[in-house]
Structure 1
Amino acid sequence: MQVVGITTQQEVSVVTKERPFKINEIIVIEDDYQKNQLGEVFETMSYNRYIPLNINGGLIDSNVLNSLSQLGYKVGEETMHLAKIRLLEEAEYPICTGAKVRKPRFEEVKNLFIKCEKDAGLLLGEIKSTEDMEDSMEDDLKDTLCIYNKESITKQRGVPFIFDIKKMQQYPHIGIFGGSGSGKSFGSRVILEEIMKLNIPTVVLDPHFEMDFSNKCPDLEEKYLTDFTNKFTIYQIGVDVGVKFEDLNKNELKKLLTASGNITDSMSNVIDNIYKKRDTYMTFLKRLEYLAEGQRLGSEKKIYEKMNTSEEVYEKKKYSDIQKLFLEYNIKCPPASVSGVIWRLTRLYNEGIFSKDIQPIENSIKEGKLIVIQGDMRLIQVFSTYLLNKLYHKRRDYKDAKYKEVENSEFFPPFIIVTDEAHNFAPKGYDSPSKSIIKEIAQEGRKYGVFLILATQRPTLLDETVTAQLNTKFVFRTVRASDIGTIKEETDINADEAKRLPYLRSGDTFVSSAIIGRTIPVRIRMAKSTSPHTENPFDELNVFIEGSKNKIFDIIKTRFPIKEIELDDILITLERNDVNMNIKQLESELDRLVDDKKLTKGENMWGYFYDIVDK
């Protein structure tokens, strides 16, 4: 391998007859006038006698052709492999034409790729185009993971990609970008598995109900697997965790109510007037309902009449309270707005959100576990606002107390917040319930040890302030031009790498990180656990249909042959076995069994009949 053509201090062209170059491959240039230079392949082509050397232009020009001839290459007669190389660091002088080029030994590039010990970081995958360094690599870095390639599992050959998570203290927050089917969710799962390995407390907002790590990957050998059973917990909003109503302030209550529908300024005014500090759900609702009943009666006189005609002491007290509320708030609080607040409040209550608190989450954080919060997007958006505020300020209060040397301050650990569909939690251009706390953590969380990992298919729709704070970005396959534009603005991905984004294989990613100092192409490793949603929906449909047919066949197989006049009796038999259908449905099922060659269908003078094949 040799340098050819005109060179600069930043780029050179290289040629060889030995083998093709790989994109992103690292090479060593041995220049006689300065120290060895490391470079990365960013463009490569191969030519033979049947391909004109000027077919593409750009890579091959007259200077390169002259160099090839002078260096002894038989231009037009033999296969040549050419590459453009970008130096990783600017050279002092332009590289000499004719300088020898070779593959690096692992120790020469170790500092480029390995930023921390394997057990101290996140082992996320294999750095692409580093397979040639396998022989010179240290033994403890070999055979650490498996890669999924073209429908087969292969063991690691290249340099492992180990993310130094401790450096997030200087360069906080991670963004994971990629379109549908790009491997974004798969990459998120691998990152979470590695976080669990290090026992770092983590809160995962899971609107897709997929972050369950109970099931081990059946395709991996036992030595590559890890049991995560005791390292994570799953909580469902309204079932396992919720909001302690007494801890809410007016603003938090308003944000919660938006989960049931937008609240108007008039509704906000109702809450400002009716809500009292330390209210319980029942005391607040009772006050609202009493005011609503007074407004339905319509006047102080009618309320007074109700109070006087009531025989029960309780009833008299009730209408006395209604009268007081009516006189104080009727003008301030329109009836429609009062009813709107009641409807939104009771809807949340019926979903169980006020029946629990966040104590289980706090306990799990102190145990160093990964906590998965599940619920539909609407509930998670609003619940996360309350939850993240509480957790973040608990950590912040502890750090502030420690700084002020306050004695007996209760320790609250640092933690990571992870969410998919991040553009719904911190959207660009409009407010959402959780946007303010996400922005605050993005800007201030580093000082207190609170970090974000935000995944989204649409980085363009993510708030720009938040995007700018993501110092590490995993960029998977992305097709939309607007999203690619955003990624180019927010990372050091160059134009050539950006062109490749729409064509990346699922599971391939560019890692652009201030921690690493450059963009690295990575193939994400196989996950050690599987999502509960991995079954192909069409396979699921076939299993259901097959199971339905087999169930009916097993119930009635002793009754064959079955005549047309016996179908009513067959329906009764099926009903006794919890299968309900009518005559037409039964005939359809029997005809499907005929199509599957399990039954035959014949006709005689009494009508048609069904019988088992080869009975």
Structure 2
Amino acid sequence: MKVVGITTQQEVFVGSKERNFRINEFLIIVDPYQGDLIGEVVEAQTYNKYMPLNLQGELADSSVIDSLKTIGYNIEEDTIYIGRIRLLNEALYPVESGSDVRVPSFEEVKDLMIKSSPDEGLVLGIIKNTDQMAEGMDEEYKNLLYTFEEGKLKVQKDIPYIFDIKSMHQYPHIGVFGGSGSGKSFGLRVILEELMELNIPTIVLDPHFEMDFSEVGPYIPKEKRKDYREKFKCLQIGYHVGVRFEDLSRQDIKNLLGASSPLTDAMSNVVDILFRGRESYNSFYNKLKMLAEAQEEGSLDRIQRRIDESSSDLEREGWQKRKELFINYDKICPYSSVRGIIWRLTRLENEGIFSKDIKPIEEGLQMGKLIVVQGSTRILQVFSTYLLNNLYYKRRDYKDALYKNTTAEYFPPFIVVTDEAHNFAPKGYEPPSKSILKEISQEGRKYGTFLILATQRPTLLDETITAQLNTKFIFRTVRASDIQTIKEETDITAEEAKRLPYLRTGDVFISEASLGRTIFARIRAANTTSPHRENPFDELRDKVIEDDKKFLEIIEDKLPINGDDFINVVKEIEKETGKTYPITVFEEKLEGLVDKGLLKKKQTPFFNIFTK
């Protein structure tokens, strides 16, 4: 392999007659004046001067090639392989043309490729096209993982990609981008498995109910299987966790109410005026309800009449309180705003938000567990606003207390992970969850709080947050606007951007600030599987088979069934099992079993007879 053509300090072309080049492989240029220069192949081509394209872009026809072979030219041996190499570090001078090129040894690239030991970093996959360098690799980096390719599990042959989790202190936050079916959620699962391995406290906002790690992947060899059941907890909003109303501040209340739909200035004013700190839900709700009922009466005279006409002391006392609220607040709390607050408050209560607290989450984080918070996207927007504010400021207060030499209860550093991140921090409008995520993205590094945000649409994610993501995992992406956003936010090259729509599922470009460049990797096979892994069409087929089997069991002791006796058979089935079949449906199910070969049908002049 030799350097050919015109060279620069950044890029050179290399040619070979024996060896083809692979994109993203690393090679060393032996420059006689500047020493060894390491570079990455960014473009690879082959060329054969005897097989040119004609003016229409078509290859020379077979008769031309046969003629050349007859004359004595060895067509295959005259193929030249050409690669364009970009140097990792700019050379002082243009590279010497004619310099030799060779494959580096592992020791020569170790410091470039591996920034952490397997025990202290996240073992996420392999660096593609490094198999030749991996031959002399240290034993601690071998047999760490499997990859899943072409429907089969493959043993690791390349250098592993190990993310240095400690580097997040200088280069915080991770973005995971990729379209549907690109391997994005799969990659996120692998990252979370590695965080559990290191017992790093993590909160996962899971709108798809898929981040469950209790089921081990059946494809993983038995000796390599790992059990994560003690390392994570799935908690559903309204069932396991919620918000303790008495702990809410005015701002918390407004954030929660605003998550249902934005609050007007008048509604915000109602909360500021009527809410008192450490007030119970019932106390605040009753105050609003009584004020609204007094406003519905419309005047003090009508309220006084209700007091005078009260049939009991309790009723009289209630209308007396309504009168006081009306006098104090009617002018400054418009009726429509009060009703709006009542509607939002009732909706949150009905969803179980106020029935629990966040204690299980705090306890799980203190134990170094991964806590998966599950709920619909809207409920997660509501709940995460309160949760992240609460936990982030606990961690911040602890760190500030250390700085000031005062005492504060310990709260551990933690990572916040969410899929569909553009729903929580969108560009263009301000849901309550966006402000806390933006604050963590800008200041969280100082306090040991980090973000891992996954989205199919990086263009829709808030630009301030996107700019703070120092490491980006970029899976297959098709939309031009998203590719443009990725090009603007990373050091991905034009050639790599062109490849984005065609990446295989699980292949990923990793733009890591601590490395200072983009590498091409493949995510390892996950140790666990998603609860949604079953193909829906297989599910449909299995359900039909199961239903047929159950129906056969029900009618088995009633066979043969005559066509004129359906009504009696159906009544008998209803009496025995409680299941009711309309006559037409019952006959259709019998006909269906005949079509599938599970029953036989005998036709007579008067009716059909169904038998085994």
Q: Could you say which TM-score interval applies, normalised by the shorter chain?
A: over 0.9
Distance 2:143 2:394 in 1: 42
1:193 alignment partner, SS class: helix
Residue by residue over 1:225-250, the C-alpha shift from the partner in whole angstroms, topping out at 9 and shown as x without a partner, is: 21101111111111111111112222
The residue aligned with 2:187 is 187
1:474 alignment partner, SS class: strand
The residue aligned with 1:473 is 472
Distance 2:208 2:25 in 1: 37
The residue aligned with 2:437 is 438
Deviation of 1:54 after TM superposition, in Å, equals 9.4
CA contact (8 A) 1:49 1:77 kept: no
Deviation of 1:475 after TM superposition, in Å, equals 0.6
2:20 alignment partner, SS class: coil
Matches within 5 A, 1:559-574: 559-574=558-573
Q: Percent identity?
A: 56
The residue aligned with 2:63 is none
2:515 alignment partner, SS class: coil
Matches within 5 A, 1:569-588: 569-575=568-574, 576-588=576-588
Whether 1:601 and 2:610 are equivalent positions in the alignment is no
Distance 1:412 1:424 in 2: 28
Whether 1:533 and 2:532 are equivalent positions in the alignment is yes
What amino acid is the match of 2:503? L
How many matched pairs? 596
CA contact (8 A) 1:552 1:574 kept: no
CA contact (8 A) 1:48 1:77 kept: no
Deviation of 1:529 after TM superposition, in Å, equals 0.6
The residue aligned with 2:64 is none
CA contact (8 A) 1:49 1:76 kept: no
What amino acid is the match of 2:411? F
The residue aligned with 2:416 is 417
The residue aligned with 1:462 is 461
Pair 55,84 (structure 1): closer, same or farther in 2 beyond 3 Å? farther
Matches within 5 A, 1:197-276: 197-276=197-276
CA contact (8 A) 1:144 1:224 kept: no
What amino acid is the match of 1:194? E
Deviation of 1:394 after TM superposition, in Å, equals 0.3
What amino acid is the match of 2:489? E
The residue aligned with 2:284 is 284
Distance 1:556 1:40 in 2: 70
The residue aligned with 1:403 is 403
Deviation of 1:55 after TM superposition, in Å, equals 8.9
Deviation of 1:446 after TM superposition, in Å, equals 0.4
The residue aligned with 1:505 is 504
CA contact (8 A) 2:17 2:77 kept: no
When structure 1 is superposed on structure 2, of 433-442 and 570-579 the one drifting more is: 570-579
The residue aligned with 1:67 is none
Deviation of 1:532 after TM superposition, in Å, equals 0.6
Whether 1:10 and 2:18 are equivalent positions in the alignment is no
Distance 1:487 1:129 in 2: 23
Residue by residue over 1:485-508, the C-alpha shift from the partner in whole angstroms, topping out at 9 and shown as x without a partner, is: 111111010111011011111111
Pair 241,56 (structure 1): closer, same or farther in 2 beyond 3 Å? farther
Deviation of 1:50 after TM superposition, in Å, equals 5.7
The residue aligned with 2:132 is 132
Deviation of 1:340 after TM superposition, in Å, equals 2.0
The residue aligned with 1:82 is 82
What amino acid is the match of 1:141? Y
Q: Which TM-score applies when normalising by structure 1?
A: 0.94
The residue aligned with 2:310 is 310
Distance 2:260 2:27 in 1: 59
2:496 alignment partner, SS class: helix
Matches within 5 A, 1:354-365: 354-365=354-365
The residue aligned with 1:369 is 369
The residue aligned with 1:101 is 101
1:36 alignment partner, SS class: strand
Residue by residue over 1:185-240, the C-alpha shift from the partner in whole angstroms, topping out at 9 and shown as x without a partner, is: 10000000000100010011011111000000011112332110111111111111
Deviation of 1:74 after TM superposition, in Å, equals 8.4
Moved over 6 A (4+): 53-57, 73-76
Distance 2:80 2:558 in 1: 76
Pair 182,561 (structure 1): closer, same or farther in 2 beyond 3 Å? same
When structure 1 is superposed on structure 2, of 89-98 and 282-291 the one drifting more is: 89-98
What amino acid is the match of 2:310? S
Whether 1:163 and 2:163 are equivalent positions in the alignment is yes
Distance 1:47 1:566 in 2: 80
Residue by residue over 1:294-323, the C-alpha shift from the partner in whole angstroms, topping out at 9 and shown as x without a partner, is: 122232222222222324222221111011
Whether 1:120 and 2:138 are equivalent positions in the alignment is no
The residue aligned with 1:297 is 297
Whether 1:545 and 2:528 are equivalent positions in the alignment is no
What amino acid is the match of 2:445? R
CA contact (8 A) 1:563 1:607 kept: yes
The residue aligned with 2:28 is 28
Deviation of 1:266 after TM superposition, in Å, equals 2.8
CA RMSD of aligned residues (A): 1.8
CA contact (8 A) 2:241 2:358 kept: yes
What amino acid is the match of 1:379? I
Distance 1:434 1:362 in 2: 19
